Structure formats: structure tokens, C-alpha cells
Chain A
Amino acid sequence: MLLKVIINGEDKVLTIAAGERLLDLLRREGYFSVKEGCRQGNCGACVVLLDGRAVNSCMVFAARCEGREIITVEGLGTPARPHPLQEAFVNAGAVQCGYCTPGMLLSSQALLAENPAPSVEEIKTALDGNLCRCTGYVKIIKAVQDAAMRMKVAKGR
């Protein structure tokens, strides 16, 4: 079947199988920032934004996304022009192996889009579906706070 979908601002018409997962479709189409981790909605490595909401793409049928907008990290920033969240993650040392990072970034982006100045508790809740097994969450939380500040300053200019 055919699927019309917007991925990172680009209109796409893709051929999909009716029972296919969004995660498999995105990786097949070359969006390799979307990682397969647990395959059961626990780890958050496959998180993407679906109409602005963070969702586990391993739990979503591709066909459900007809006419909807998907954002992956490829749509967040580029190496030349990184998103403030990406810069903040690098500066805070919030990346170790990097496998969880795309999901962390997108969950953080969904939070900051709705709540530009979140408390630590609110950041923890927004990231409660993203597991980091390398290190911990202190630097990640700090990075989200830093990014919130940067985005606030940038908006104020």
C-alpha cells in the first residue's frame, strides 16, 4: 500500500506493507538516527516525533502515519548548523556511546516546544521513556536545561 507522509518537512509517498512498523520503514528509508533497541516500547532508542508528540516508533504501524508529520534527528539540525539541544548535549558531555541520544534529543525537543522553561522534575518526566545504560542522567538533564536557556536567549534576540 502507499503511504503519504511528511518526514522532516519533506512530502513523501512510500510503499509499505500493511503490518509494517514505523521504525522499520524509517530505517529502510535511510533515517538511521532512529535506533532499534528493545522492540517493545521500553528503551526509547526509536523515539520520533509524530505530529510533535514523542512516540516509540517500534510500537506504531507505519500505516497509522498517513498524512501526518514525522521528525527524526536528521530533521533537527545538521553538523554545520546543529540544533541548540544538540550543541548543549555535546557541551555538557551528555553523550557517551550515543545510542540513546537521538531519542533523548527528540523527547527533549517535544518537551521544550510545549514548555520552554521546564523544572528538573518536568525534564525527568519527559525523559522517563528514554534509557541511558552508559552513564546516567545528570549531564543529560543539565544539557536540556542549557538548551532551554539558549533557546530562550535566541528567542529574545
Chain B
Amino acid sequence: MNMPLTDVREYFLPTRASEVLRLIKREKGRCFLLAGGTGLTFGAPSTSAEATALLRKRKGVEVIIDLSRAGLNYVRETSGGISIGAATPIGELLKNPLFSSYAGGMVREAALSIATTPLRNLITAGGNVMQVFIWSSLPVLFLALDARFRVVGERNGLIRAGEFFSTQPRRLVGAGSILKEIILPAPSECADGAFVKFSKTETDFALINVAVLLSVKGGICNKARIAIGAVSPMPVRLAAAEKILEGQSLRDELIEDAARTGAGGISILRDIRVSEGYKREIIPVILRRCLKIASERASGDH
């Protein structure tokens, strides 16, 4: 945070989700829901003109509702899958033994791709998906895992990943509701997968994020889920590439074909760090790399 929020007059630490919803209703239009808080820095000013603009934007935020004690910090294994509370820090996902082998370790790989150790102790699973930045890792992971998102409040129920990331989830969920938890498929239903982040340095924002989930039985791939992020504003599934793999034996040429086909259909958003031509060249390489790792894991070659 570049500066303290000077208009804030009250700070609430509700201890249950129902209390959060009651506060949102009461403080409508004046409150700010705080998850990890690290996203507050984006749009932070580097010039005095930007600082003035930011202060104007923040004016009116009088109440902070902090979600860190609202009973939303948990990872639970249930019959329906694995539930991750929305306010669970990324660092806790890394420490949880449930994820050490789940889906080939792709949850761990995605979690480790996010920021740095002290930031991972702040950034939450819910915060990472409710406000999608182009480089965000978990939306790509959750798309490939076909996760479900439990929303409570004015809107209640489960939203599938495809719909959840069809627009900014904050808009979809609405101001009167909150994300309660993210539900991943049960480990037994799950195939093996991989997550690959490509960036200039290990802790830099991603240039490309790829998540792949493959189920292989008797040498034949019966399910393929491929998601890509950091190239377009929202992460996307690569359905044409998935179709190429399903029902087939995962030979190198087929993986190459899927990577090329997947890369072909992507519209690339301008990135100040690298040219569009570079990204177009590198996308099939990262897709192939991630597909290879997932395929080796799914075929038991690891």
C-alpha cells in the first residue's frame, strides 16, 4: 500500500460469514471487502497526478470489512471433493499435505508460482480469483480442474469455473454476496495434471500460465482439460486442443498437434514486456511443455 487509507473510519473483523453479509448490507456503498489486501497496491501512484486520482477513487471507502477471521480459512476433504475456504492464504495451500500429490501436484505448482513467500502468507485463494489480474495463477488452475465456487448472500449457490471466469467474478457474484469456498473434485475423480508459469524471473508476473489435467486409462486419454492465462484478460479453456487428445494415445506428435492447435485460437492482449510475435512463438512451447509433464504423470512415467 503506498499510503494509508485516510477516509477509513471503521475497521471490522467479523468472525463469521453471516456477519460479513450483515455488515455489507448495512454499510452498502461505503465498504471495502478485504481479503489478502495485496491487490490494493495495483494502480498505486507513481506520480502526484496518479496519487490524486487514486485518492479520489478511494474517497468514500469509510469502512473496511476484513475477511481474515470470518471462518473462511480452511482446507477440508469432503465426499464432494476438497473445499478451500475463500480466505485461505496461498501459503497454507503449500503447507497442506492434501495437495502434495493431488492431481499430480498441480495445486502446489500453481500456488508456488504466485508472488513470494511473505506475500503468499497474505494473498488468499478467494482474493486471487475474485479480482482476476491478467497474470493470476489460480483462475487458470481452477479452470483446468473444473472447480466450483460457492457463493452466499443475495446470490446463493454453486458456480462452475467456466461461468465464474466468463467475466470479472466480482461483477458476477455481485456486491451483496461473497465467495465462501472453492470446491475441487475429489482426488479419486482426478487425473494427473501440471501447472507451468513462464516469466522473466521466478517471482515476476507471468507472461504465460498453463494448467493441464489429463486422465489416462489403458494408455488412452479419456479426459483432457487445458487452460491458459496471462495472454488474454480472462483465462480460457482450449477446447479444440482438448478434443485432439481425447480418445487417443498421448504420442509426442499428438501433443505437438494439440499445442499448435491450442495456440492458434488465442487472441493475445498487448504486453509491454514482450512483443506479440514473441508470445505467439512461445505459447505452443509452454503448452507442449505442460502437456508433456502432465502426460508423463498421468501415464505413470514419473
Contacts of A19 in B (CB 8 A): 4-8, 11, 64
**Cα distance, A1 to B12, chains bound together (Å):** 11
Q: Is B275 an interface residue (CB 8 A)?
A: no
Chain A interface bracket (under 10, 10 to 19, 20 to 34, 35 or more)? 20 to 34
Q: Is B60 an interface residue (CB 8 A)?
A: no
Q: Verify B115–A18 contact, CB threshold 8 A.
A: no
Contacts of B34 in A (CB 8 A): 61, 64
Q: Is A141 an interface residue (CB 8 A)?
A: no
Q: Is A40 an interface residue (CB 8 A)?
A: yes
Q: Verify A56–B13 contact, CB threshold 8 A.
A: no
Contacts of B10 in A (CB 8 A): 1, 18
Q: Verify B119–A107 contact, CB threshold 8 A.
A: no
Q: A19-B7, A24-B4 are in contact. Are A40 and B41 (CB under 8 A)?
A: yes
Interface string of A101-126 (1 = CB under 8 A from B): 00000010010000000000000011
Q: Which of A18, A20, A129 contacts B118 (CB 8 A)?
A: A129
Q: Is B101 an interface residue (CB 8 A)?
A: no
Interface string of B36-62 (1 = CB under 8 A from A): 111011001000000000000000000
Max chain B Cβ within 10 angstroms of own Cβ: one of A18, A63, A66: A18
Contacts of A50 in B (CB 8 A): 121
Interface string of B3-34 (1 = CB under 8 A from A): 01111111101000000000000000000001
**Cα distance, A17 to B4, chains bound together (Å):** 9
Q: Verify B117–A21 contact, CB threshold 8 A.
A: no
Q: Which of A17, A59, A63 contacts B1 (CB 8 A)?
A: A59
Q: Is B66 an interface residue (CB 8 A)?
A: yes
Q: Is A128 an interface residue (CB 8 A)?
A: yes
Q: A41-B41, A128-B203, A129-B203 are in contact. Are A58 and B118 (CB under 8 A)?
A: no
Q: A41-B41, A61-B37 are in contact. Are A20 and B121 (CB under 8 A)?
A: no
Q: Verify B116–A61 contact, CB threshold 8 A.
A: no
**Cα distance, A19 to B8, chains bound together (Å):** 5
Q: Is B122 an interface residue (CB 8 A)?
A: yes
Interface string of A29-61 (1 = CB under 8 A from B): 000000000011100100100100111101111
Interface residues of B in 60-107 (CB under 8 A from A): 64, 66, 68, 89, 91
Q: Which of A24, A41, A53, A64 contacts B66 (CB 8 A)?
A: A64
**Cα distance, A16 to B297, chains bound together (Å):** 52
Q: Verify A126–B13 contact, CB threshold 8 A.
A: no
User: What residue in chain A is nearest B40 (Cβ atoms)?
Assistant: A59
Q: List 24 A-B contacts (CB under 8 A).
A: A17-B8, A18-B8, A19-B4, A19-B6, A39-B1, A40-B41, A41-B41, A41-B115, A41-B118, A50-B121, A53-B91, A55-B121, A56-B119, A58-B1, A61-B11, A61-B64, A61-B66, A63-B64, A64-B37, A64-B68, A66-B13, A125-B117, A128-B117, A129-B118
B interface residues (Cβ-Cβ under 8 A, vs A): 1-2, 4-11, 13, 34, 36-38, 40-41, 44, 64, 66, 68, 89, 91, 112, 115-119, 121-122, 202-203
A interface residues (Cβ-Cβ under 8 A, vs B): 1, 17-21, 24, 39-41, 44, 47, 50, 53-56, 58-61, 63-64, 66, 107, 110, 125-130
